[in-house]
Amino acid sequence: MHKRKSGILLHPTSLPSEYPVGDLGEKAYRFIDIISDSGFTLWQILPINPVNYVNSPYMSPSSSAFNELLIDPGELVSLGLIDRAPFLEKPVISNFTDYDRARRLKREMIRTAWERFDSDSPEYREFCRENSYLSDIGIFSHLLEEHRTDWSEWPAFSSYDNILELREKYRKEASIFMFGQYMVQNQWFRLKKYANEKGVEIIGDLPIYVDYNSFDVWSNKEIFRLSGRTGKPVEVSGVPPDYFSIDGQLWNNPVYRWFDGSKLNSRLMDWWCSRIGFLLKFVDIIRMDHFRGFSKYWAVRYGEETAKRGKWRRGPGASFFRHIFKKLGKINIIAEDLGIITRDVEKMRKEFDFPGMKILQFAFSDPRNPYLPSNYDTTNCVVYTGTHDNNTTLGWYSRDTDQGTRHFINEYHQGNINEENIAETLIYDALASTAKWAVIPVQDILSLDERHRMNIPSVAERNWAWKMEPGDLERIDKSLLRRMNICLNRLNVV
């Protein structure tokens, strides 16, 4: 029998902070204390890679580097590497991340700390030896900042083919980037160790695709479907039109060259093993985004304005996971299997015993809805009140549900459900369900409205910016949540 667990969904950038972005400092440790005291044993985060100027953790300049915005400035102060006053400016009280200010402050902090740091320390030299590839990512990041265009439009000298010359020219920039990675990764390792010692496992998130304007594509052009003449994608990713979108969703990531003849592309699989191996250093469990794309994926010709005119193409299927497990060993994976899922996708998920996902905000259309807890046909699933792409539960109930849905919610619960109790009601539904794991966004724990959602898909403004306000952590009702987790068999106290 699968052990029943529960957890909280919160990205570290959303932790409260006097700086313009959440970080890995004191509040992160306090968050772990609170969720542990509340009876939760899982902490789910979004991708931990650097973010581009859209600020999306799903569109990163590199899938094998850590987000330096998460560096705790307090540790740099305590080590004597920076002075606190020049960097703090005025304390931040907004519940939205100011990414532009965060970038400016953190880059200045890292540069100043690098100038004072003893780079001859044995621990640092060992980190540099084990992670030498980070220097090249640092060079790419600098070039990206310098040119502010797609890498295919950079001068010829900025091609990865000239990496030896680039390493010579940008040695300082590469060194500063390496130092920043050393600091933030070590801070995360200590935080993860603390969480694990408190009985909390961390669920990481692995997007299936990477951003075109990334080190991954710049340095590995042959594993993506790119034009040999222009370097632009031949085809890009998305999903076809469905009930929710008449135009489909055009994601615009380059798609992979999955096959070399009839065999899996060995160079691509080496890259995947490296990418997954990097994430496994930092998390205990991986949520595999867009799981169905490993069976078949929707490919759209580059330049199309919508995803309407695409084609289904064959993905690597179960062979992908067999190869990964052979190289890396068995991995705890959650399959993001939302949307229209075909039999081949379901067969692949069951072959490896991956739990799928259930979303309660999708559940209340009729008594046969498969997302209703009373209809779960397996315990091997993870139930969420909502995800990072959903409205908050209060926002969903107050803004996104019609009269018929509200009536069914009342009928289902045989009670008077309203804006005051809808979040707690769905939390109870999730914890009481037969799903082996239940994960609750912290916004629902706090019963926050639509102003506090993390992302609105296909909308560019203010996404990924929500941040907890000072005092929000202390508003979490640890006693109530712990009682619920114990009574609903999510926490074994024997």
What is the DSSP code string of 163-194?
HHHHHHHTHHHHHHHHHHHHHHHHHHHHHHHH
Burial of 352 (0-12, 13-18, 19+ CB in 10 A): middle
Of the candidates 100, 197, 366, 389, the residue annotated as catalytic is 389
| pLDDT average, residue stretch 164-173 | 98
The pLDDT of residue 494: 62
The answer to the question of residue 475 being in a domain is yes
Considering its fold, how many domains does the chain have in total? 1
Range in 90-99, 131-140, 154-163, 213-222 the model is least confident about: 90-99
The pLDDT of residue 122: 96
Of the candidates 201, 284, 289, 450, the residue annotated as catalytic is 289
The pLDDT of residue 91: 62
The answer to the question of residue 252 being in a domain is yes
CATH number at residue 398: 3.20.20.80
Query: Tokens in use for 56?
Result: 């999306």
Crossing angle (nearest 10°) for helices 422-432 and 478-487: 30
| Whole-structure pTM value | 0.96
Does residue 211 have an active-site annotation? no
Does residue 389 have an active-site annotation? yes
The pLDDT of residue 1: 41
Q: Pick the more confident residue, 128 or 91.
A: 128
The pLDDT of residue 2: 58
Q: Find the helix or strand (DSSP H, E) in which 391 lies.
A: none
The answer to the question of residue 323 being in a domain is yes
Of the candidates 68, 72, 216, 336, the residue annotated as catalytic is 336
- pLDDT tens-digit series, residues 307-349: 999 999 999 999 999 999 999 999 999 999 998 789 999 999 9
The answer to the question of residue 492 being in a domain is no
The answer to the question of residue 493 being in a domain is no
Q: Pick the more confident residue, 1 or 488.
A: 488
Give the max Cα distance, the chain.
70
Range in 86-90, 331-335, 472-476, 488-492 the model is least confident about: 86-90
Does residue 336 have an active-site annotation? yes
The answer to the question of residue 474 being in a domain is yes
| pLDDT average, residue stretch 246-266 | 94
Q: Which domain holds residue 164?
A: 5-487
The answer to the question of residue 360 being in a domain is yes
Length of the chain: 494
The answer to the question of residue 494 being in a domain is no
Query: Tokens in use for 300?
Result: 């759209």
